[in-house]
Amino acid sequence: MKTISVSNEKEMSRKAAEIIIALIRENPNAVLGLATGGTPEGTYRALALDHQKNKTTYRSVRTVNLDEYVGLDANDPNSYHAYMEEHLFRHIDIPQDQHFLPNGSAESLEAECRRYDRMIERLGGIDLQLLGIGENGHIGFNEPGTPFQTATHVVTLTESTRRANARYFENIDEVPAQAITMGISTILKSKAILLLASGEKKADAVRRLLTETQNTDFPASSLIAHPNVTVIADREAMSRVHLYQ
Ligand code: F6R
C-alpha cells in the first residue's frame, strides 16, 4: 500500500484529481469507480474545474458507483444518483448512458446486484476505484463483519453509518435502512484503488488501515492484499499513525 501524506483536504483533493486526470489522459476509455459522501467532493470540484479549463474529456469514460440507497429513486435529492449529478456529471462531458449506479428501486434487488456485477465485468472491470473510508472501516457500505468474498449485495446499514449520513437528510429517521453496495470482492477486482481520508474523525480508521492485519472486523483491511492501492490522507487523518510506527 502506497501512502501519500498531504497537509489538508484541499491538497488531498488536488492530488486525487491529478491521478484521475492522468489516467483518463492516458486511457480515454477508462472505467472509473466512484464514491459519494463528503470526502470526494473536493476531488469532483477539481475534476470539474480541470474539465472547464484544460478540456479533459470524459466522452469515452465510463463510471460505476459503489453504492445506492434502497428505496430512493434516481430523482430523489438524497439519492446517490442525484449526488453524482450535482457534484460531477453535470459539470463534465460524460454521456448520460456512460455513468452507472446500482438501482435502489429495482423490483428484485437480488437480480439488480447480480446485474451490476455482470455489467462491471462487461465494461472490462474497473481501472481505478475511488474510495472513502467509514469511521468504522467500512468501504462502500461493506460494514464490519462482511466476508471479503462478497460480490455486490444488499446491506442493512448500521446505526453508526445511518447517524454519520443523517447530515444529508431532514433527520435520522429519513435515512434509508438498506443500501446496495459493491461487495468487497467486486472492489478488490479493480486494477487500482485510490482511498482518500481527511480529518480527525478518520484518524483511527487510517491508523487501523496502516497497522492492522487483515480482519473482517475492519473491512478496509481487505485492501492490504491488493497489489495497487494508494492512500491519500491529510495531516489530521494521519495524526494517530506515527504513534504506532
Ligand atoms: C460512499 C461510500 C462510503 C463513504 C464513507 C465515508 O459511496 O461508499 O463508504 O466513502 O462512508 O463517507 P464520508 O466521505 O462522507 O466521510
Predicted pLDDT at 243: 59
What residue has cell string 453496495? 181
Work out the number of other CB atoms within 10 angstroms of the CB of residue 27. Answer: 13
pLDDT value of residue 138: 95
Residues 174-188, mean pLDDT to the nearest whole number: 97
Question: DSSP character for 239?
Answer: T
Cell of 209: 488501515
pLDDT for res 176? 97
Residue 97: give the domain boundaries. 2-230
Q: Which pLDDT does position 101 carry in this prediction?
A: 98
In a domain? residue 123: yes
Confirm whether 154 is domain-assigned. Answer: yes
- What is the predicted pLDDT for the residue at 242? 73
First to last CA, the chain: 15
pLDDT recorded at residue 244: 53
**Considering the entire predicted model, what is its pTM?**
0.97
User: Based on the structure, what is the number of domains in the chain?
Assistant: 1
**Cα 169 to ligand 1 centre (Å):** 15
In angstroms, the CA 207 to CA 80 distance is 28
Report the helix count and the strand count for the chain, using DSSP H and E: 7, 10
Within a domain: 245? no
pLDDT in tens, 11-27: 999 999 999 999 999 99
pLDDT digits (tens, 9 = 90+) for 70-99: 999 999 999 999 999 999 999 999 999 999
Is 179 a pocket residue for ligand 1 (Cβ < 6 Å)? no
In a domain, 243, yes or no: no
β-strand pairing of 99-100 with 62-65: parallel
As a whole number of Å, the CA-based R_g of the chain is 17
How many angstroms separate the CA atoms of 225 and 242, rounded? 22
Q: Sheet of 2-6: strands edge to edge?
A: 2-6, 229-234, 192-197, 128-131, 31-34, 62-65, 99-100
Q: How far is the CA of 132 from the centre of ligand 1 (A)?
A: 5
Nearest residue CA, atom 11 of ligand 1? Answer: 134
Tens of pLDDT, residue by residue over 210-219, are 999 999 999 9
- The helix or strand, by DSSP H or E, that contains position 186, with its residue range, turns out to be helix 184-188
Task: Give the residue-averaged pLDDT of 168-195.
Answer: 96
Q: What is the pLDDT of residue 78?
A: 96
Residues 6+ apart with CB under 8 A from 80: 36, 65, 67, 68, 69, 101
CATH classification at residue 185: 3.40.50.1360
Q: What is the mean pLDDT of the chain?
A: 96
Instruction: With respect to residue 217, please indicate whether it lies within any of the assigned structural domains.
Output: yes
pLDDT of residue 245: 52
Q: Is residue 238 part of a domain?
A: no
Q: Which set of grid coordinates corresponds to residue 200?
A: 480527525
Residue 96 resides in a domain: yes
Residue nearest to atom 9 of ligand 1 (CA): 140
Q: Quote the pLDDT of residue 212.
A: 95
Q: What is the mean pLDDT of residues 22-39?
A: 98
Higher-confidence residue: 243 or 44?
A: 44
